[in-house]
DNA sequence: TAGTGGTCTAGACCACTCA
DNA sequence: GAGTGGTCTAGACCACTAT
């Protein structure tokens, strides 16, 4: 027996009922078995559709409690975290890269806290400038766990730490934050903008299992924005 | 026959193979049927695990082409988009709200472009200030499609447009952007910060099917950051 | 304790796309 | 044309939790 009912079509029908008010905020919708019977498909198909909607924040599901329409749905947006070089290429510009410094040094207290390690520990510290069409694009300030395999041999003048880590040190857990900062004198000089300019910043911290991998601060040239569809 | 093999355990095993280099970047991994045999579970269980990893950017899958480990994985981060009031409450602060202006006016050209509508069209324009513990938290500047059902009767002095729309105008498609801006004189005065302060800004535009719903610019008080786990 | 979602299985057909 | 992932089905057991 062939079926033309896809989980996407069930999802679309559910969305229609949500938009029309058929399924009102705060109420409970029929259980999966009932919907499967009503819509003429298997329960697992209904399950897949409702699971996707729950992942998007449009439904709340609990065993025994059933599936409910939240009064105030919390929508989710997914951003891609590309390698900086790829990001620049995707904008149709030519990527460039300049290593500014590389040394072993004790973690600053704030960075140690981000990485959840006891403070006076040595990490590798790198700073680098990414260029787009020869113009400053992004300033990278990074601390790397010196125990990372292969780190000592890595040539960070040829490949950015960003790219090296993505290829050589898969992380399993991380935190990311977006914020705005005024350019200090040093940052302004490196990015070629007036001091005080509002800059977009990303802070990312990652671990492999429990071991810290890296903490990085990316400060972008003026006008940078990140976008996604929801 | 009962099984203790879950798709999560298959996902964990796949992650292990990726981390260990068993499955090297750029190579192809065994097909689902083979893995199912090797791991002693049904193909659909393998499918679920690999599908999740592909959604996270750790694998690339194509029919006939098989499943590959990307050379430079593009990881994904998911952010929640809460109602501003809930956001403030989640920070343990008391939310407040003040409507600053409400009028019908022609869309500015830039906003019309964002909404993908012909320019000289009237929308409802609202500005409002959100407070946390009586301090400025976020400035909301919003344009709403006047055709939205119930809009004329909505009392935006009592409920924020943010909240009203979430409850009354489900959108199906949207765009969101994060950026940094220097506070202009007006914004600085309203948020209680010096002009020029770097502020975090979110621009969100939404549609229901093809009809524009709203375009909103949220400018946050200094120090605001948004965070998520990856 | 009972109802509901979460998941697994085995088998099947199909859609895409690579060679 | 053929190999691989995408999905559906029917049935089953289980985990969680509301009542």
Distance A172 CA to C6 C1' (A): 24
Distance B63 CA to C17 C1' (A): 7
Q: Which residues pair with A9 in a beta bridge?
A: none
pLDDT per position as a tens digit, B15-54: 999 988 899 999 999 999 999 999 999 999 999 999 999 9
pLDDT at A19 over 50: yes
pLDDT per position as a tens digit, A170-221: 898 899 999 999 999 999 999 999 999 999 999 999 998 889 999 999 999 9
Q: Phi and psi at residue A169, in whole multiples of 5°?
A: -140, 80
Distance A110 CA to D17 C1' (A): 42
Q: Cβ separation of B179 and A225 shorter than 8 Å?
A: yes
Q: Which residues pair with B138 in a beta bridge?
A: B130, B220
Residues 6+ apart with CB under 8 A from A38: A30
Closest CB to B170: pick one of A19, A77, A176.
A19
Nearest chain A residue to B203, by CA: A227
pLDDT per position as a tens digit, A87-113: 999 899 999 999 999 999 999 999 999
Residues 6+ apart with CB under 8 A from A65: none
Nearest CA distance, B129 vs chain A (angstrom): 20
pLDDT at A16 over 60: yes
- Model confidence at A1, pLDDT cuts 50, 70, 90, reads very low
Cα B21 to Cα B8: distance, rounded to the nearest angstrom: 20
Q: Cβ separation of B176 and A201 shorter than 8 Å?
A: no
CB A187 within 8 A of CB A180: no
pLDDT > 70: percent of chain B: 98
pLDDT at A2 over 90: no
Across the A:B interface, residue pairs with CB atoms under 8 Å apart total 152
- CA atoms A198, B75, A152, A130: torsion sign: negative
Q: Choose, out of B53, B180, B208, the residue to mutate when testing the contact with A (most A CBs < 10 Å).
A: B180
pLDDT per position as a tens digit, B165-218: 988 888 888 999 999 999 999 999 999 999 999 999 999 999 988 889 999 999
Q: Indicate if CB(B43) is under 7 A from strand D.
A: yes
Residue numbers in B near A45 (CB within 8 A): none
**pTM (two decimals):** 0.89
Query: Residue A197: how many CB atoms within 10 A of its CB?
Result: 20
Nearest CA distance, A121 vs chain B (angstrom): 25
Q: Cβ separation of A74 and B57 shorter than 8 Å?
A: no
For residues A59-97, one letter each, b for 16 or more C-beta atoms within 10 angstroms of the residue's C-beta and e for the rest, the string is bbbeeeeebbbeeebbbebebebbbbbbbbeeeeeebbb
pLDDT at A129 over 80: yes
Query: What distances in angstroms separate CA B220 from CA B69, B135, B156, B201, one per listed residue?
Result: 39, 12, 20, 6
Q: Indicate if CB(B2) is under 7 A from strand D.
A: yes
pLDDT per position as a tens digit, B147-161: 998 898 888 988 999
Q: Cβ separation of A86 and B80 shorter than 8 Å?
A: no
Residue numbers in A near B176 (CB within 8 A): 77, 227-230
Q: Which residue has the tokens 């113009």?
A: A135
Q: Cβ separation of A176 and B227 shorter than 8 Å?
A: yes
Nearest chain A residue to B201, by CA: A180
Distance A2 CA to C10 C1' (A): 17
> What's the angle, vertex CA A41, arms to CA A38 and CA A46, rounded to 5?
85
Instruction: Name the closest nucleotide to B49, judged by C1' and CA.
Output: C7
Ramachandran bin of A154, using left for φ above 0, alpha for ψ from -120 to 50, beta for the remaining angles: beta
Residues 6+ apart with CB under 8 A from B177: A225, A226, A227, A228, B202, B203, B204
Residue numbers in A near B15 (CB within 8 A): 170, 172
In a 3-state reduction of DSSP, which class is residue A53?
A: helix
What is the pLDDT at residue A169?
Answer: 85
| CA A181 to centroid of chain Cα atoms | 19
Instruction: Please state the rounded mean pLDDT for residues A136-146.
Output: 96
Q: Choose the weakest-confidence range: A68-77, B32-41, B125-134, B219-228.
A: A68-77
Query: Residue A25: how many CB atoms within 10 A of its CB?
Result: 16
CB B177 within 8 A of CB B202: yes
CB A37 within 8 A of CB A46: no
């Amino acid at each position: 027996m062939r079926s033309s009912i896809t989980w996407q079509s069930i999802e679309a029908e559910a969305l229609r009922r949500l938009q029309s008010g058929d399924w009102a905020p705060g109420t409970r919708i029929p259980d999966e078995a009932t919907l499967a019977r009503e819509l003429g498909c298997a329960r697992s198909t209904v399950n897949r559709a409702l699971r996707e909607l729950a992942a998007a924040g449009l439904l709340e599901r609990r065993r025994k409690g059933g599936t409910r329409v939240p009064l105030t749905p919390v929508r989710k947006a997914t951003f891609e975290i590309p390698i900086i070089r790829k990001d620049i290429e995707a904008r149709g510009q030519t990527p460039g890269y300049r290593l500014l410094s590389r040394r072993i040094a004790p973690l600053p207290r704030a960075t140690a806290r981000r990485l959840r390690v006891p403070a006076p520990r040595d990490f590798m510290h790198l700073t680098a400038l990414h260029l787009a069409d020869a113009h400053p694009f992004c300033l990278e300030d990074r601390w790397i766990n010196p125990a990372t395999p292969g780190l000592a041999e890595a040539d960070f003048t040829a490949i950015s730490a960003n790219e090296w880590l993505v290829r050589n040190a898969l992380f399993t857990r991380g935190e990311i934050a977006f914020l705005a900062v005024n350019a200090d004198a040093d940052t302004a000089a490196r990015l070629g903008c007036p001091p005080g300019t509002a800059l977009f910043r990303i802070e990312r911290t990652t671990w492999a299992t429990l071991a810290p991998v890296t903490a990085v601060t990316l400060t972008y040239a003026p006008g940078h924005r990140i976008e996604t569809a929801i």
